[in-house]
Amino acid sequence: MCGIVAVSGTSEASKLAFLGLHSLQHRGQEAAGIVAFDAATGSCFRVREAGLVSDVFTAARLAELPGEVALGHIRYSTAGGSGLNNAQPIRVAYREGQLALVHNGNLTNANELRTRLVNEGALFQSTIDTEVIVHLIARSHRHGVEAQIDDALSQLVGAFSVLITVGDTLYAARDPWGYRPLVIGHIPGGGIVIASETCALDIVGARFVRDVEPGEVLRVKGTELTRLRPLPPEGMPQPCIFELVYFARPDTALWGYSVDRARRACGRRLADEQPADADIVIAVPDSANSAALGYSEQSGIAYELGLIRNHYVGRTFIEPSQAGRDFKVRLKYNAVREVLAGKRVVVVDDSLVRGTTSRGLVNLLRDAGAAEVHFRLASPPVRHPCYYGIDMPTKEELIAANMTVEQIRAYLGVDSLGYLSLEGMLDCVSDAGSFCTACFSGDYRAPLVDRDAGFAMSSHC
Ligand code: AMP
């Protein structure tokens, strides 16, 4: 998961990178960091801390980051490995200048590369897969920055959208499959912004120019963009469909496709494929709001706000000893009794992963007096872990990998359960081309090098 942003060609680079990160906060809440390079003094400063973007960056801290080029990263919390050393941007003094790098995605050969580099004498400072990219650049025998970056990126397998600065030159690249998004925007007053999602362009008033293409490597000097030698192609690009299903913000456009429109279309298709005799449709907020609206539009069943989400749930909470069942779910959601009492309710969620949140939600709805609960998922059963950068548990923890739909229905305690079909989902986004559907289908296109070689797969973003 994680979000990345870079700004070039404006003296407000770090401020704009901060704003971009703020709008990408949904992609990670564990840590935030910005590096800025100031050509006037040759300084390259970094601020990197655990916490939300608005907590990490005060006006005073941003003033410590002068320069016309800045890179930013927000980190998603993964189990383990959450020390500050694992937060990005990575910044090193390299033979060709000060180098900083941010990465979104998951390399599937990171441990193989790391083992080779360690055997050659490399000293690692973190446990993130991203650090191998820096070592590969620094240890390349090729001549010049661009040849060294090309050498490094050509050795990577898996998912990577990366932004690199060497001095005041910015480089942007996307893996040949194009798993994770990366978009380019033009700031009207002067400046270029490159970020994970278009919502990070909107906040700085930038105009969307285009996506960084799968396999494309770009150099940005000031506001001038140059295409460098692309990475070797790997067949049909495979952007991650789960970005559209759950991860990206609905006000973002991904691969030319509005996330809101894609989710609504899935909701409408879900209503056709999995109808329900019910009085109201509600969403599990916020990620399923658009899909539930689509379900309501298509079925003619009224859309209601039956669940309210508290957005201010921090990372750690003191659990009272009398907390009772479903405390974690109750911290985040509450049911609106007046909306639900006596009603036959269709609940639309974007996806079912472990089933634990959903089970708690169903208890909330029953306690609030719902007469019937019909659970609908705007995506197919998640049966396979993701190795390309979405935090998905192991197969053992994925409920749909271990139970039939009827068993899941009984486990959740609902009157009916229905998933959107894979064909139905793909039909809804067919204009946007082909997608990686590995978490639903098990069709892993980028080789799982570490897994096949018996290494642990890293679960960092
Ligand atoms: P559960 O009931 O435990 O299966 O959780 C399903 C909920 O988690 C859904 O509401 C999704 O919006 C959300 N979700 C889906 N994928 C992820 C993910 N990779 N990380 C965190 N939450 C997710």
* 380 occurs within a structural domain: yes
pLDDT tens digit string along 75-96? Answer: 986 544 667 888 999 999 999 9
pLDDT of residue 79: 44
Averaged pLDDT, 205-232? 98
Are residues 106 and 230 part of one domain?
Answer: yes
Averaged pLDDT, 267-291? 98
Q: Domain holding 133: CATH number?
A: 3.60.20.10
From the CB of 358, is ligand 1 less than 6 Å away?
Answer: yes
Which residue puts its alpha carbon closest to atom 9 of ligand 1?
A: 351
Buried (b) or exposed (e) across 81-120, using 16+ Cβ within 10 A? Answer: ebeeebbbbbbeebeeebbbbbbbbbbbbbbbbbeebeee
* 355 occurs within a structural domain: yes
Domains of the chain: total: 2
Cα 287 to middle of ligand 1, angstroms: 9
Cα 355 to middle of ligand 1, angstroms: 8
* 54 occurs within a structural domain: yes
Ligand 1 atom nearest to CA at 1: 19
Are residues 227 and 283 part of one domain?
Answer: no
Are residues 67 and 172 part of one domain?
Answer: yes
Residues 418, 422: Cα–Cα separation, whole Å: 13
From the CB of 356, is ligand 1 less than 6 Å away?
Answer: yes
* 338 occurs within a structural domain: yes
Residues 167, 2: Cα–Cα separation, whole Å: 24
Burial class (CB in 10 A: 0-12, 13-18, 19+), 214: buried
Cα 277 to middle of ligand 1, angstroms: 26
What is the extent of the structural domain holding 166? 2-238
pLDDT of residue 80: 44
From the CB of 50, is ligand 1 less than 6 Å away?
Answer: no
Are residues 412 and 364 part of one domain?
Answer: yes
From the CB of 354, is ligand 1 less than 6 Å away?
Answer: yes
- Residue 269 phi/psi, 5° resolution? -65, -40
* 254 occurs within a structural domain: no
Q: How confident is the model at residue 283 (pLDDT cuts 50, 70, 90)?
A: very high
Please check whether residue 400 is in contact with residue 383, taking contact to mean a CB–CB distance below 8 angstroms.
yes
Buried (b) or exposed (e) across 9-22, using 16+ Cβ within 10 A? Answer: bbebbbbbbbbbbb
From the CB of 430, is ligand 1 less than 6 Å away?
Answer: no
Q: Say what the pTM is.
A: 0.95
* 315 occurs within a structural domain: no
Averaged pLDDT, 64-77? 94
Ligand 1 atom nearest to CA at 350: 12
Q: Domain holding 279: CATH number?
A: 3.40.50.2020
Are residues 350 and 208 part of one domain?
Answer: no
Q: Which amino acid is at 42?
A: G
pLDDT of residue 329: 93
Are residues 158 and 9 part of one domain?
Answer: yes
Are residues 265 and 183 part of one domain?
Answer: no
Are residues 302 and 231 part of one domain?
Answer: no
pLDDT tens digit string along 446-460? Answer: 999 999 998 877 655
Are residues 282 and 220 part of one domain?
Answer: no
Are residues 102 and 228 part of one domain?
Answer: yes
* 292 occurs within a structural domain: yes
Are residues 263 and 231 part of one domain?
Answer: no
pLDDT of residue 317: 65
pLDDT of residue 460: 53
Cα 249 to middle of ligand 1, angstroms: 15
pLDDT tens digit string along 422-445? Answer: 999 999 998 777 999 999 999 999
Give yes or no for residue 232 having a pLDDT over 70: yes
* 15 occurs within a structural domain: yes
Are residues 347 and 376 part of one domain?
Answer: yes
pLDDT of residue 316: 62
pLDDT tens digit string along 321-355? Answer: 777 778 889 999 999 999 999 999 999 999 999 99
Q: Is 62 helix (H, G, I), strand (E, B) or coil?
A: helix
Active site residues: 2
